[in-house]
Amino acid sequence: MANIYYSQPMLEQMQGDLRDPAVAYVPTATQIGYALGLLFLVPLGDLVERKRLILLQCLALALACAGVALAPGAMPILAASLLVGTFGSVAQQIVPLAADLAPSERRGQVIGIVMAGLLCGILLSRTVAGFVAQYLGWREMFWIAAPLALGIASLLALKLPHSEPAAKGGSYRETLRSLVGLWRDYPTLRRATFIQCCQFGVFSIFWTVLAFRLESRFGYGPQVAGLFGVLGVVGVLAAPVAGRIADRKGPRQVILLAALTTLASWLVFAFWDSLAGLMLGVIALDFGVQSSQISNQSIIYALRPDARSRINTVYMTSMFAAGGLASALGMASWTHFGWPGVSALGIVVSLCCVALQFGASREAASGLA
């Protein structure tokens, strides 16, 4: 997952080296590629043998990273970055496979472990890339990323079992068309998706604006912003506990607790104007977002075991689209209203999340869900 975010802290260095303003669109190209991978590659997990698909995507990811490292100019690097994002979606092939392999009574815990790795990749990628770029250079980061992808492919080739395709006999076109049907037929999937869109939205708002907040209020540069990624991992690594609780007591209680934790984190951001407040808030925020993610995935993967990859496509594509929109709204709030505007936006979206889960809990209690 980290491959998608390596370029962000290195953009200034990349632009200075290639002397082309188009390099500023490398993160955009990577995110577009990731969306394409979610939409067109992840559904293949229900149609073909997953181990082979995962290994092929890892190999293609390694080649794409090497392509970025070798790119002589802006257009080649944009093309290679698009492919990095596309094949980086292999992370979303692994999550439904883990759900398939896990016994039902441990599915939340297993998903929690895998998702902790995914979110750690998002959080720590900027820290690692900033360090490597400062001491070695931006191309070297991608030269490191390529053999890492090959190493992961080798490990998975040894450890992953072969799996039978869940949707035997279907065509690729029918598989893509079925995405609409899954969204229409499963209100539980829609509810989980809306809740996690709110959760990932407030996560994206915070991490988009953090560097600006640290510089304007505390005078810290991008290296400190990168170190906040390490701090955020504390919340992420605590979240698999929520997966075990969801296995024992049901995921809905965990989702409600997670929504309230996320809301509390934004109240801390808004009313505790200190570095300590930011540090405590980021741990609570990442814990809440990750706990909700684990529990929602436990719910949706139980809906149709033969369609877990396609369900993951619907869920994750919506979530990352919401994250992109929230990032844009967060920057607009920062530009026009400063940190109070950003905090207000985070609180409002968090309240929407709490309201959605309260509604789901009431329906469950009355036997409607």
- What are the pLDDT digits (tens) for 266-289? 999 999 999 999 999 999 998 899
Say whether pLDDT at 239 is over 70: no
- Look at residue 265 in the predicted model and tell me its pLDDT: 97
Region for residue 213 given its phi and psi (left: phi exceeds 0; alpha: psi -120 to 50; beta: otherwise) = alpha
Last residue of a domain, one of 134, 162, 190: 162
Burial (Cβ within 10 Å: 0-12, 13-18, ≥19) of residue 369: middle
Least confident of 9-18, 176-185, 321-330, 360-369: 360-369
Answer yes or no: is 157 within a domain.
Answer: yes
> CA 246, CA 243: separation in Å to the nearest integer?
5
**Residues 8 and 69 reside in one and the same domain:** yes
Say whether pLDDT at 235 is over 80: no
**Residues 75 and 151 reside in one and the same domain:** yes
Answer yes or no: is 171 within a domain.
Answer: no
Q: What is the mean pLDDT of residues 186-204?
A: 93
Say whether pLDDT at 366 is over 60: no
End-to-end CA distance of the chain: 33
- Domain of 235, in residue numbers: 181-369
> CA 297, CA 300: separation in Å to the nearest integer?
5
- Look at residue 63 in the predicted model and tell me its pLDDT: 98
Q: What percent of the chain has pLDDT over 90?
A: 46
> CA 287, CA 240: separation in Å to the nearest integer?
9
**Residues 235 and 279 reside in one and the same domain:** yes
Answer yes or no: is 169 within a domain.
Answer: no
Last residue of a domain, one of 162, 189, 220: 162
**Residues 235 and 285 reside in one and the same domain:** yes
Q: In CATH, what number is assigned to the domain containing residue 134?
A: 1.20.1250.20
Last residue of a domain, one of 162, 195, 228: 162
Q: In total, how many domains does the chain have?
A: 2
Answer yes or no: is 308 within a domain.
Answer: yes
**Residues 153 and 205 reside in one and the same domain:** no
Cβ neighbours for 269, distance < 8 A, ≥ 6 positions apart? 206, 277, 278, 281, 339, 343, 346
Structure tokens belonging to residue 360? 């789901």
- Give the pLDDT band of residue 234 (cuts 50, 70, 90): confident
Least confident of 28-32, 77-81, 180-184, 349-353: 28-32
Structure tokens belonging to residue 73? 């100019």
Say whether pLDDT at 211 is over 60: yes
- Look at residue 324 in the predicted model and tell me its pLDDT: 81
Answer yes or no: is 170 within a domain.
Answer: no
Q: What is the mean pLDDT of residues 239-250?
A: 73
Answer yes or no: is 175 within a domain.
Answer: no
- Give the pLDDT band of residue 70 (cuts 50, 70, 90): very high
- Look at residue 364 in the predicted model and tell me its pLDDT: 59
Structure tokens belonging to residue 166? 């869940």
Q: What is the mean pLDDT of residues 232-241?
A: 74
Segment 162-174, tens digit of pLDDT: 887 766 667 888 8
- Look at residue 169 in the predicted model and tell me its pLDDT: 64
**Residues 154 and 248 reside in one and the same domain:** no
Number of Cα atoms under 13 Å in the Cβ half of residue 108: 26
**Residues 33 and 104 reside in one and the same domain:** yes
Answer yes or no: is 176 within a domain.
Answer: no
* Dihedral pair phi/psi, residue 90, rounded to 5°: -55, -25
**Residues 143 and 188 reside in one and the same domain:** no
Q: What is the mean pLDDT of residues 134-151?
A: 94
Would the CA dihedral through 52, 57, 59, 60 be positive or negative? positive
Q: Which residue has the higher pLDDT, 123 or 37?
A: 37
Question: What's this model's pTM, rounded to 2 decimal places?
Answer: 0.84
**Residues 213 and 118 reside in one and the same domain:** no
**Residues 217 and 344 reside in one and the same domain:** yes
Number of Cα atoms under 13 Å in the Cβ half of residue 202: 38
**Residues 98 and 213 reside in one and the same domain:** no
Q: What is the mean pLDDT of residues 53-72?
A: 97
Q: Which residue has the higher pLDDT, 349 or 305?
A: 349
**Residues 193 and 113 reside in one and the same domain:** no
Secondary structure (H, E, C), the chain:
CHHHCCCHHHHHHHHHHHCCHHHHHHHHHHHHHHHHHHHHCHHHHHCCCHHHHHHHHHHHHHHHHHHHHHCCCHHHHHHHHHHHHHHHCCHHHHHHHHHHHCCHHHHHHHHHHHHHHHHHHHHHHHHHHHHHHHHCCHHHHHHHHHHHHHHHHHHHHHHCCCCCCCCCCCCHHHHHHHHHHHHHHCHHHHHHHHHHHHHHHHHHHHHHHHHHHHHHHHCCCHHHHHHHHHHHHHHHHHCHHHHHHHHHHCHHHHHHHHHHHHHHHHHHHHHCCCHHHHHHHHHHHHHHHHHHHHHHHHHHHCCCHHHHHHHHHHHHHHHHHHHHHHHHHHHHHHHHHHHHHHHHHHHHHHHHHHHHHHHHHHHHHCCCC
Number of Cα atoms under 13 Å in the Cβ half of residue 48: 12
Residue located via tokens 């407030």:
202
- Look at residue 222 in the predicted model and tell me its pLDDT: 65
Segment 10-25, tens digit of pLDDT: 877 888 899 888 887 8
Structure tokens belonging to residue 112? 């929690």
Q: Name which of 229, 233, 263, 236 is nearest 356 in CA terms.
A: 263
Instruction: Provide the 10 A C-beta neighbour count for residue 282.
Output: 24
- Look at residue 363 in the predicted model and tell me its pLDDT: 59
Segment 294-322, tens digit of pLDDT: 889 889 988 998 888 999 999 999 998 88
Answer yes or no: is 48 within a domain.
Answer: yes
Most confident of 24-28, 138-142, 323-327: 138-142
- Look at residue 285 in the predicted model and tell me its pLDDT: 94
Decide if 317 contacts 35 (C-beta within 8 A).
yes
Residue located via tokens 């709490």:
354
Q: What is the mean pLDDT of residues 15-41?
A: 87
Segment 144-158, tens digit of pLDDT: 999 999 999 999 999
Q: Average per-residue pLDDT in the chain? A: 88
